[in-house]
Amino acid sequence: MPDTLTTVFRWVDSTSWELDFFGLPHRIPWPQDVDPSVANNDPFEIEHMLRAIGAMGAELTEPWKSFDQAAAHLDELADAIDDSEATEAGELLAQFEQLHPGTSFGLFHRGTVARLEGREDDAIALFRAATEKTPNISAIWNNLGVMHAMRGQRDEACAAFKKSLEITPNDRTALEGLAQLRVLIKLLRDPNDPNSAAFVDVPSFSKMVAQQLQQVVNDPDQLLAQGEHLLQQGFVPELGLQALQRAHALRPDRRAVFGLTAAYRLANQLDQARATIEPYTAQAPQDPEGFFHLAQICNATGDKDGETRALETLLTLDPNAQAPLGIHFGLTQSEHDPKKEQALAKFGEERKSWMAFILASNIARQRGDAPTAVKWAERAHDVAPESEDVLLHYTAALGEARGFEKLVSIIKPKIDSGKFTKRVDWNYAQTLQQMGLTNDAIGVLRKAIAGEVPAEFKASATLMIDAWSGLVAGCGVPLEVHQAGCLQRPVVLVLDDGDGGYVLKAGAKLPAESTFPWRAAAADVQVPLQQGQSGGSAEPRILGAFVVRGANPALKTIDCHLVGLPDGALHFRASQGGRRLQVGWAPTGIQR
C-alpha cells in the first residue's frame, strides 16, 4: 500500500503514452520525493502516480478518483491475461470499466479477451476502436496488424504495422510483422544472433543485391548460387533472373540451362524459356530432365502435342520417372480407373518399368482390390528387386492383403541385409502393427534405432514405440488450431467443481508443451480436458480424458506431460516417482 501519510505530491507534465491509454491528462500528480523526469519513462512507472493520488486528500477529483478505484484491479487483470484466463480477465475488466469507463485501455483489453476466446472479428473491431480513440499508441496498431496477418489480410496488416512504425520507427514487432509479410527484408549480421537483425525495404535490398551481383559478374558459379537463392526466397526475382541470364551467357551448362528455364517460367516469359531449353534437348538428347522442362513449358503454352512428344521421349530415356508417368497417363490423386491401371501395367511390361507397376498397384489399392495390388507390386519387385521404393510399396501392399508369409520370407530378409535406409524398417514396422503384430513391430523399431542412427529418425521411432507400448496416448478430438499455426483457445483441465488450470495457453505457437501434477486418487485415474473456458462467450469444447493406469495412490501425485502439435494432435504421457505409466484416452470419460 502507498505510504499516504508521508507522501507529498506535486503536479508535473508527462509525455507517457500510457496516460492517453488510461484516459488521463498529461498533467499528473507526482510524489515530491521522485524525480519528475521519471514520469516520462517507458514503461510508465504507475506506482509513483498512484502513491501521489493517494496523497491528494481533499484535492482528489475526477478522473483521479475513479482511476484510483479502478487501478486496484490492474495487477490481477495483467496476471489473468498473462495466464490466458479469458473469463477472469473479462470479469476484472468489466469492474475496471465500470469504475473508470470510456478508455482505450478497456477497448484494447476487451479485444485481447476476444482474441483469447477465438472471436477474431470482435477482437479486430475492438482494436480498431482503440486506435481511433488513441491513434498514437504502437502496441494497439501492432495487435491489429497481427490479427489481420493471422487472417491472411495482407494489405490491412501492412497498413497497421506501418502506422506503428510512424509512431515508433524501430518498433521490433512491426518490423518483424512487415518482414513476414515480405514488405521488408530481414538481414542477420550474425546468423547466430537474432538481435543482430537489420530490416531494409525492398528497393534498398535490390540495390544491395545489384552491387553484390556486380562484384561476381564474371563468376558463373556465384551467379548461379545467388540467382537460385533469390528465386527460391522470392525476393527481387527480377535480379535472380538477371543473375541466371548472365551465368548462362558465361557458361551455358546443364545447371545454367535448367536454372534459367525455370526462372523464365516463373516470370511467365514462356517463349524465352522454350528458346533456352530446346537447344539443350537437341545437344543432350540422352538427358531426360531436359525433356521434362520442355514438357512443362509446352504445357504452360498450351502446346499439347509438344508436351506429349517431350514426355514420350523422356519416358523412353527413363521409364521409371514417376511425375512424367502420372502426367502422361492422366492420373489423379485418388485414381482408381481400371483402364488406366491396365495401361500402366502394359507399359510396365513393355518398358520393364517398375514405377509403372507401382502406379498400377496404387490404382488397385484405391479400389480396395488388395490381391491385384499385390500382383502388380510383385511384378515391380521382379523387375527391380533392389529398389527401395519398390520394397516400400510391396511391403504396404502385402500388409493390406494380410500376406504375412511373404512379409517374413521376402521383406524381412531384405531389411536384415542392412542395404536399405531406415525408412524401410519404419514402413515394415508400421505394416506389422496394422496387422495386429504390435510386439513384432516394436521389435523391428528397437532394432532399427540401435547404434548410430539419424537423430530425427530415432526420436520418431522412440515416440512410436512408446505409443505402441501404451506409454503415449493421443486425443481422439483434434484441437482447434488457427491457420497461422497457433492454438485458438486454451486447453483447460476439468475439475469436479468446474474449470481447472490452463495446460496450453491460447495463442501458443505449436508445437507447444506443458507439464503439470495430477492427484493420484486411485490406481487408475482420468485427466479430463476441454478446449476453451467455461463462462466465456463460446462454450468450451470437451476433448475427453486421458486415462492413467497403474498409479500408486500412496505417492499422491502423477507427473503429466502434454504436447500440442501443429496438425491439432494432442499427445499425453504420465510418470510417477520416475516410473513411466500406462496411458490411454477415453472420449466420454469426463465426469462433472
Q: Are 93 and 70 in contact (CB under 8 A)?
A: no
Is 39 part of a structural domain of the chain? yes
Q: Answer for the pair 266, 230: CB distance below 8 angstroms, yes or no.
A: no
Domain interval for residue 565: 473-586
CA atoms of 131 and 108, how far apart (whole Å): 9
- Show the cell assigned to 197: 537483425
Alpha helices in 22-119 (DSSP H): 46-54, 64-70, 74-82, 86-99, 104-116
Torsion of Cα atoms, 560 then 561 then 565 then 571, to 10°: -60
**pTM for this predicted structure:** 0.76
List the helix and strand counts (H, then E) for the chain: 27, 14
Contact between residue 449 and residue 461 where contact means Cβ atoms under 8 Å apart: yes
Question: Please, which residues bridge with residue 199 across strands?
Answer: 186
| Residue whose grid cell is 523399431 | 445
* 3-class SS of residue 24: coil
Indicate whether 388 belongs to any domain: no
CA nearest to 348, candidates 336, 333, 363, 334: 363
Q: Which of 43, 61, 79 is the last residue of a domain?
A: 61
- Asked if 426 and 456 count as a contact pair (C-beta separation under 8 A), the reply is no
Is residue 244 one of the residues assigned to a domain? no
3-state secondary structure of 498: strand
Helices 237-250/254-266 angle, 10° precision:
150
* 577 domain-assigned: yes
Of 61, 85, 105, at which residue does a domain stop? 61
Domain count, the chain: 2
Inside any domain, residue 557:
yes
In a domain, 497, yes or no: yes
Name the residue with cell 520442355.
Answer: 294
Q: Rounded CA gap, 362 and 392, in Å? A: 12
Pairing of strands 557-564, 570-576: antiparallel
In-domain check, residue 506: yes
CB distance 486 to 116 below 8 Å: no
Give the CATH number for residue 557: 2.60.34.10
Evaluate whether residue 363 is within a structural domain: no
pLDDT along the chain (592 residues), means of 10: 63 95 96 94 93 91 94 90 81 94 95 86 95 96 94 94 95 94 88 83 92 95 95 90 96 96 95 97 96 96 96 97 95 92 97 97 94 96 96 94 91 90 93 92 93 90 93 92 83 85 84 93 93 79 93 94 93 94 81 41
Return the pLDDT at 6: 58
